[in-house]
Structure 1
Amino acid sequence: MRRVTAPRSVRSRRSFDGSAVAVATSVMNVATYGFTIIAARVIGPSEYGAFAACLSFLLVVQVGALGLQATAARRIALDRGHVAAIEKAILRLTAKVSLVVGLVMLALVPVINRLLNLDDLLTATIVALTVVPLTLAGGQAGVLQGERRWRALAVFYLAGGIPRLVVGTSLILWRPDATTALLGVGIGFLFPVAVGAWFLRHRRTPELVPAEHSARAMLLESVLNAQVLLAFFALSSADIVMARHVLTEHDAGLYAAGLIMTKVMLFLPQFIVVIAFPDMATPENRKRALRHSLLAVAGLGLAFVLAARVLSGLAMVFVGGDEFGEVEDLLWVFAVLGTVLAMLQLQVYAVLARQGRRTVLLVWAALATVVALGLRTDSVIGLVGVVVAVDAVLLVVLTLASLRIARTTPPPPVTSQLPT
């Protein structure tokens, strides 16, 4: 029996909703980046150093929220018959994890204060409390993503960026210091939580939760997901730490400026990962979703690499200006690095979608290789060349593994029903 595909109107609506997510994530990233730039100019270098350290810490802690999000999205996309039960269980688990993590962070306030060299327990306390809404938002986003509620997710992402820019800027203009800037970030995280609660307020009465979707099973999966994401974030951030050790202070500053281009290329195609993940979790759609997504990220990256090469002078405006002019000729290399990392991020989420256990060892191995080779370099081009080479090899290995696994997946049963 021939499989019936969705009508053109359904496909068009899905395309429009996917575009809404693309626009929303772009606005969120621009707003987040904009507030960071404004904060750097308003609060000054010394205060901004403390603020940047707090943001880096939150980026690491965020892997817990992203682990919950991946768990929720994968399970809902894969088991459409128990959506209500999974939604109820994951939101309840997210609330408990948020509370526990918040209490642990509060107990570690003195450690956070010492680790980040803040000399301010109030700032460290705000960091600890910010983890609570950050974690709550992860579970909510996962439910919306797994249910493919793209318009709701688009609003959710907008709420994650615009309020931070507006509230945060207002606060630092009133009191320009790191504590107030971080308070703006914390308050900003409350808005997506409120939006998520609103969209998830009407819940269907769930049946009995199957054993495979128990709180223990989902917590274990979330921890494993967080470990994989931690490996990726460590890999994508190790070079800036090494730059502080192997390069002069001046060259380390140039490398940090070039990494602004890398981070732009890493987060620009984030919407592709968000939209593709539920399909990558389903065996019948996995190969197509991965192939199309990789091509989309590669195409977008190629366009920006060429732009960074041809319009390097214009790109320098966003990287740091004339003060960092020595790195201009290398901007296209940093754009290549960002593109490779974006494709790697997609592959990492493909691993999470199929719940690969051994593949994460390759990411940790790549991190060890980057550190071992990177510590032997003594120039900006040498360090970025090593990172690009190692990341590219890892990307090829993961791509071949993913395509091989997708090829051996049993074909889906024939159905005459329209996709829901």
Structure 2
Amino acid sequence: MTANVAGYLLQLLAGRWLGVTGYSEFASLLAVQLLCAVPALALQNVVARESVRGASMAALRGVQWRCAVIVAGVAAVLLPVVTAALNVSVAACAAALGAAPVLVLLSGEQGILQGDNRFRGLAVVLGAAGVAKVTPALVVLALGGGAAAALWAAASGLAAAALFARYVAGGGSRPTREVTVTDSVGVLPVLRAAQVQAALMALSSADLIVVRMVLDEADASRYALGTIAAKIAFWLPQAVGVVLYPRMAQPTHSARAIRDALAVLSAIGIVAVLGAAVAAPLAPLFAGEDYAPIQGLLWLFALHGAILAVLQGAVLSAIAVDRTALAAVTWVGLAVEVTLMVSFARSVPALITTAVCVAATTTVVVAVIVLRTAEHTAPQRLSS
């Protein structure tokens, strides 16, 4: 909650301080940064899963550093491409992409804590990382700095958070496991998990990138601010997957954990949508009158985030049991969404409606596949 509130505060104040003419660049680069964080999210899930299975600390730290080096190289290659595609400054884009390898190191330590069920330490790291990222960026923005300076400040804060996470995770002995200890963890499992995470993150962020191509600067900024409601609904129940993930990775508990996760995520999503509808009149008060036109659409943005939260729970369960082929469904959903938006959507309502419809269809298909797979494979695992 601390990390999420800090993130929303950053976007809300950035929207006010940068204005409708400057916020779009900042929000789009944050979306790019989220996409670049995909390897970090995948690494955390793989590290947590292998930790449950008994991997050694040396093996977990080794794959963490190998992935960080790979991500740094990819970020360097993408820098000119993203800069040109989004029409943003090189300095701002470099700051957004430069945070990617740092996020990998941070997430690797979080995966160790998660897999060991050390949720108190994980909570401290998550909260500290959120504050460390946001506080320097807010200071820069308050002093009149632009998007580039704020993004560099945020990247510096994340570097400090990664060092703190390493300290909290420690380097001592691991808890005793009733499984065979693994001496090495390869990059390939991370890549398989990454393509699942990439599909989810792309589906949740593609609209923010497309809006800069199909809307004018003012409407693109309004849409970007509206997605704060989506992000709240998406990240609010993140702890559900974090806590249940180790159970999903255990064959005897996997099916029940998946059903519990999807049910709780759906219930929280309903509450989030109702909350957005009730709080909508306050949006112009906090963000400024320039954003009043999207007030009546906030519940729809929240619905988008709530649906994606359920989808996230479903894909997490697939990573936990190393069954990542169903990511193809999400990739298809992404292709359909981008095609429809670029071809037909020319207004904020049309864009968010398209995003909601595609996300809902994709989530239903993935959830049905995941539940049926879990129910069919659970008896086989128990008998074996």
Q: TM-score range by the shorter chain?
A: 0.7 to 0.9
Q: 2:303 is matched with which residue: 319, 333, 336?
A: 336
The secondary structure found in structure 1 opposite 2:307 is helix
User: Unaligned regions of 5+ residues in structure 1, if any?
Assistant: 1-25, 415-420
**Do residues 89 (structure 1) and 56 (structure 2) align?**
no
Task: Find the partner of 2:11 among 36, 53, 62.
Answer: 36
Shift of 1:126: 4.1
Q: Counterparts of 1:184-203 in structure 2 under 5 Å? A: 184-203=153-172
Percent identity between matched residues is 32
Pick from 28, 38, 41: which aligns with 1:66?
41
Name the residue aligned to 1:164: 133
1:18-167 residue pairs with structure 2 within 5 A?
26-42=1-17, 48-77=23-52, 79=53, 82-83=54-55, 85=56, 87-103=57-73, 105-106=75-76, 113-115=83-85, 117-120=87-90, 123=92, 125-167=94-136
Contact 1:75 1:146 survives alignment (8 Å) = yes
User: How far apart, CA to CA, are the structure 1 residues paired with 2:78 and 2:199?
Assistant: 23
Q: Say which is worse superposed, 103-112 or 384-393, in terms of deviation.
A: 103-112
Please report how far the alpha carbon of residue 297 of structure 1 lies from its aligned counterpart in structure 2 after TM superposition.
Answer: 1.6
**Rounded Cα–Cα distance in structure 2 between residues aligned with 1:303 and 1:105:** 38
Tell me how far 1:358 sits from its aligned partner: 2.5
Q: Is the 8 A contact 1:101 1:131 kept in 2?
A: yes
Does residue 273 (structure 1) correspond to residue 241 (structure 2)? The answer is: yes
Q: What does residue 147 of structure 2 align with?
A: 178
1:62 is displaced (CA, Å) by 0.7
Q: How does 1:306-317 map to 2 (within 5 A)?
A: 306-317=274-285
Matched letter for residue 229 of structure 1: Q
Q: Is the 8 A contact 1:65 1:135 kept in 2?
A: yes
Query: Which whole-Å CA distance do the structure 1 matches of 2:62 and 2:120 have between them?
Result: 24
1:336-392 Cα shifts (integer Å, max 9, x gaps):
222111111111111211222321111111112223333334444443333222222
Alpha-carbon distance in structure 2 between the residues aligned to 1:245 and 1:283:
45
Which deviations, in whole Å up to 9, do the C-alpha atoms of 1:219-266 show, x marking residues without a partner? 001011111111112212233344445556665554434322112111
Give the Å deviation of 1:153. 0.2
| Range moving further from structure 2, 123-132 or 394-403 | 123-132
Structure 1 position 50, deviation (Å): 4.5
Paired residue for 1:222? 190
Give the Å deviation of 1:147. Answer: 0.9
Deviations 1:387-414 (A, max 9, x none): 2222222222222212211212127769
Is the 1:35–1:164 contact (alpha carbons within 8 Å) kept by the matching residues of 2?
A: no
1:64/1:135 contact within 8 Å kept: yes
Structure 2 contact 11–228 (Cα < 8 Å) conserved: no
Give the C-alpha shift of residue 156 in structure 1.
Answer: 0.6
The alignment partner of 2:379 has SS state of coil
2:344 counterpart SS class = coil
Structure 1: distance between partners of 2:311 and 2:174: 39
Relative distance call for 1:364 and 1:43 in structure 2 (3 A) is: closer
State the distance in 1 between where 2:280 and 2:248 align. 36
Q: Shift in Å at residue 323 of structure 1?
A: 2.8
8 Å CA contact 1:39, 1:181 repeated in 2: no
Give the direction of change, closer, same or farther, for the CA distance of 1:401–1:316 in structure 2 (3 Å limit). Answer: farther
Determine if contact 2:20/2:290 at 8 Å carries over to the other structure: no
Q: CA RMSD in A?
A: 3.1
Deviation at 1:187, TM superposition (A): 1.5
Q: 2: distance between equivalents of 1:291 and 1:244?
A: 38
* Contact residue 232 and residue 305 of structure 2 kept, 8 A: yes
Match of 2:202 among 234, 241, 245: 234
Of 329, 338, 346, the residue aligned with 1:371 is 338
Moved more, 99-108 or 189-198: 99-108
Higher Cα radius of gyration? 1
